[in-house]
């Protein structure tokens, strides 16, 4: 198994531009999570899906952020328009049956907004 | 609300000595507890978890953790530290649901 795959690994964009981060979960996993890691705030859960349906998006910082999961194999996190304070490492994680079997994280996308 | 506290930003230990990284938690309901490790510019790697049963949980790379319900703690331990264990360690918890909440992380530095 290739694990959770995130792309791109690094993204540098200018303020105001749209950014799309991508995630391919482990096949057969029914939960998908998006986290953001910053020095100031640590690891924050942004949103999670169960069977492609968003369950909790209370961590999404503002309307500029949106996430979708059109099928069991793919999810996107979009920021439009991006701002310098969005600079962070964004992690995707997937799980089979949630907390029962634990969570597998991708390698992350390092986003820099200049 | 659920939360995790890792009271030490950094732990220094000499190679070959035992190490402990502390974690306390707060949840309503039965806790599911996890330890993850992060190496520079890498994702989080799973070390071990506690769901139920034996309070002493053994995990990857010789790590273990002890669940203590009365003290609401889940400290990470290793009998003999290696320089290669130097990394950032995260404790995490879920209560009644699947939302995983992380602590702030503890930087472990193992020196020769």
User: Do A48 and B98 make contact, defined as CB atoms within 8 angstroms?
Assistant: yes
Give the residue on B whose Cα is nearest the Cα of A95: B98
Give the nearest partner residue to B44 out of A50, A91, A98, using CB atoms: A91
Share of chain A above pLDDT 70, in %: 99
Q: Which residue has the tokens 């290696």?
A: B82
User: Is A40 at the interface with chain B, CB within 8 A?
Assistant: no
Q: List pLDDT tens digits, range B32-76.
A: 999 999 998 888 999 999 998 889 999 999 999 999 999 999 999
Rounded mean pLDDT of A67-80? Answer: 97
B78-105 pLDDT per residue, tens: 999 999 999 999 999 998 788 999 999 9
Per-residue pLDDT at B7 exceeds 90: yes
The pLDDT assigned to A98 comes to: 85
Percent of chain A with pLDDT over 90: 89
Contact A31/B at CB under 8 A: yes
A107 Cβ under 8 Å from any chain B Cβ: yes
- Model confidence at A1, pLDDT cuts 50, 70, 90, reads low
CB atoms within 10 A of CB B86: 17
Using an 8 Å CB-CB cutoff, list chain A residues near B99.
Answer: 45, 48, 56
The 3-state secondary structure of chain A, one letter per residue: CCCCEEECCEEEECCCCCEEEEEECCCCCCEEEEEEEECCCEEEEEEEEECCEEEECCCCCCCCEEEEEEECCEEEEEECCCCHHHCEEEEEEEECCHHHCCCEECCCEEEEEC
pLDDT in tens, A23-72: 999 999 999 999 999 999 999 999 999 999 999 999 998 899 999 999 99
Q: Is the per-residue pLDDT at B29 higher than 90?
A: no
Inter-chain residue contact B100 with A103, CB threshold 8 Å? yes
């Amino acid at each position: 198994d290739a694990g959770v795959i995130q792309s791109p690994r690094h993204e540098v964009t200018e303020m105001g531009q749209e950014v799309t981060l991508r995630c391919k979960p482990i096949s057969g996993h029914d939960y998908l999570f998006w986290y953001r890691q910053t020095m100031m705030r640590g690891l924050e859960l942004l949103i999670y899906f169960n069977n492609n349906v968003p369950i909790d998006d209370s961590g999404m910082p503002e309307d500029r952020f949106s996430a979708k999961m059109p099928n069991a194999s793919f999810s996107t996190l979009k920021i439009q328009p991006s701002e310098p304070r969005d600079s962070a490492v964004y992690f995707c994680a997937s799980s089979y049956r949630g907390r029962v079997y634990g969570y597998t994280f991708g390698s992350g996308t390092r986003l820099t907004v200049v | 609300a659920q939360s995790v506290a890792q009271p030490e930003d950094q732990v220094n230990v000499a190679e070959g000595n035992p190490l402990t990284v502390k974690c306390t938690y707060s949840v309503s309901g039965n806790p599911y507890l996890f330890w993850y490790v992060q190496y520079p510019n890498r994702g989080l790697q799973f070390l071990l978890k506690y769901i139920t049963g034996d309070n002493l949980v053994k995990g990857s790379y010789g790590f273990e953790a002890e669940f203590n319900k009365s003290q609401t703690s889940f400290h990470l331990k290793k009998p003999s530290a290696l320089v290669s264990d130097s990394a950032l360690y995260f404790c995490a918890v879920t209560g009644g649901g699947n939302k995983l909440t992380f602590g702030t992380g503890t930087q472990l530095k193992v020196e020769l």
